[in-house]
Amino acid sequence: MKVRVLGIDPGSETLGWGIVEGDSLKYHLVEYGTIKSNRRDKFSKRLLRIFDGVADIIWKFEPKILSIEETFYAVNVEVALKLGQVRGIVMLAGEKAGLEIAEYPPRLVKQTIVGYGNAEKQQVQEMVRILLKLKEKPEPHDAADALALAICHLHVSNLKKLK
């Protein structure tokens, strides 16, 4: 069954997003990009910009599923807390729009896309380029990571159906 998936790589300064449509065997790029926030703005204002930006993407492209990166352990507690707040805002936008929400750990995404859970960002970009049959690597890496999350969902959800 063909489905449209919005992948989100959360970030408080640069949030990557990408939309892929298809199933686990055949899919194609719809669109990708970033939502940038001014780091000099109050954090609450940056969260509002992210929420509005994600809501606009959902409204414009009408995905059915939101695939987002799970929280990972960060050495810097403040960074981890801010990332958690960004994830919450993104998931709120998805829930408000009635999307199915899927969360994936970074290692699983890399394993699914590259075949190696500790892959570098450049390797993920290159495999996303190959899988989506793009002429150039998607830039910046935040958007490539978001596309990887969308592709990962298509593959993992199909495996769950086979069980």
- Among the listed residues 52, 62, 142, 145, the single catalytic one is 142
- Among the listed residues 9, 21, 95, 136, the single catalytic one is 9
For the chain, what is the radius of gyration of the CA atoms? Answer: 15
Residues in the chain: 163
Active site residue 69: yes
Active site residue 70: no
Short-list 144, 120, 134, CA closest to 14: 144
Short-list 77, 93, 76, CA closest to 15: 93
Strand order in the sheet with 65-69: 27-36, 14-22, 3-9, 65-69, 100-104
- Among the listed residues 31, 41, 56, 69, the single catalytic one is 69
User: DSSP 3-state assignment of 158?
Assistant: helix
User: DSSP 3-state assignment of 8?
Assistant: strand
Short-list 44, 48, 46, 55, CA closest to 17: 55
Active site residue 56: no
**Which DSSP letter does residue 71 get?**
P
Q: Which residues are catalytic?
A: 9, 69, 142
